[in-house]
Structure 1
């Protein structure tokens, strides 16, 4: 087997990332990626199977990293002993998520805005579902009247929480603007949850 030149895969993934950023998954062309990277289309198919496999190679490791970090944050918040500590831990997790996203901004722009037709178009939903499970348990544990906090309320609130992140990414806010925005959101959500839990 011909020994691969150093950096070939990296060049290919860089070309693919730029192509997906500009054209989205459906509009991306393996021929253009091939021409830009200098890697034949046959080699792309051999390495990644198809265009979806190439997209997964571009975004997968970073997406998995965020999911792992987020699940760790959820576990830490679950292990707290009171609602204020849980919310503070959640806020720290939100800060970490934001930093991670901005360290890998192009990848998350692809996931949130350019992934239609791939397995990653459901990534947002998976994050929201994890948050929904956590907040349902959170409400049951800490609310004075948990029966008044409906599953539908939790569902909408959790999807809205990740919608904030989507809006930041889709509008390509600079990091400092995004941080100020999310600091305001954290204050808003903290006060809102205290009221809903009946702790005011």
Structure 2
């Protein structure tokens, strides 16, 4: 195979996917990726400037898709009139979670890199960034409830962060362990019911 053939890029990315999946970004060997792909180091640098650029090429489309849809759900809820928010509090999040499970089940390998093998890259705080967005949204929602005249017990940022972190990590655990789609969806629905009930309990005097 010629190193500038159309299949070269695909071979590099496939070799990288396997190497990153096994060893993580920090432990992965660029030399081993090049060897497995059957190309020279010079050919590799014709496509990518570094190991991190290669990692980003694999995970960025999925990071963008997951975060983009998540932020869209957050904006949709934020733009609702205040008096409509209590009855829609779980609608947008439920729609996102269903979409997310389906998306991850169709892109398991690169999403696992994003969620589990990104230490040492700009993606290592991906879940943390989602959690921070969720915390801010939760605190804003509490203020909305109070403006609507509802009595809500004090919930500080640190507690909200712990709860949101637990929720996201639990949901991602379900979808990154190669569970069949139907089982993953069932578990995520049950987790969503569990956390929704918990939040409602905490927000009730």
Question: TM above 0.5, one fold?
Answer: yes
- Offset of residue 192 of structure 1: 2.0
Given that residues 109 and 169 in structure 1 are in contact (C-alpha distance below 8 angstroms), is that contact kept between their aligned partners in structure 2?
A: no
79-88 or 121-130, which moves further after superposition?
79-88
Select between 54-63 and 94-103 the one with higher mean Cα deviation: 94-103
TM-score, length basis structure 2:
0.87
Instruction: Tell me by how many angstroms 1:181 deviates.
Output: 1.0
Q: CA deviation at 1:139?
A: 1.8
Counterpart of 2:37 in structure 1 is 37
Deviations along 1:172-197, one digit per CA (max 9) or x if unpaired, are 33322211111111111222222223
- RMSD in angstroms over aligned alpha carbons? 2.1
Alpha carbons 2:3, 2:39 under 8 Å: kept: no
> Counterpart of 2:183?
177
Cα deviation per residue 1:151-187 (whole Å; 9 max; x = unaligned)?
Answer: 2221111111211133224533332221111111111
Higher helix share: 1
Q: CA deviation at 1:147?
A: 5.6
Tell me the distance in 1 between the aligned counterparts of 2:3 and 2:177. 43
- Tell me, in whole angstroms, the C-alpha distance in 1 between the residues paired with 2:44 and 2:88: 49
Does structure 1 residue 154 correspond to structure 2 residue 157? no
Question: 1:91-130 counterparts in 2 under 5 A?
Answer: 91-130=94-133
Match of 2:138 among 126, 135, 139: 135
- The match for 1:68 is 68
Identify the residue that residue 88 of structure 1 maps to in structure 2: 91
Structure 2 stretches lacking a partner, 5+ long: none
Unaligned runs of 5+ in 1: none
Q: CA deviation at 1:86?
A: 2.2
* CA distance in 2: counterparts of 1:157 and 1:100, whole angstroms: 24
Kindly state the Cα deviation for residue 8 of structure 1 after the two structures are TM-superposed.
1.8
Work out the CA distance in 1 between the residues paired with 2:142 and 2:44.
48
Q: Could you list the runs of 4 or more consecutive aligned residues of structure 1 that deviate by over 6 angstroms after TM superposition?
A: none
Q: Deviation string for 1:37-59 (max 9, x for gaps)? A: 22222222342211111111111
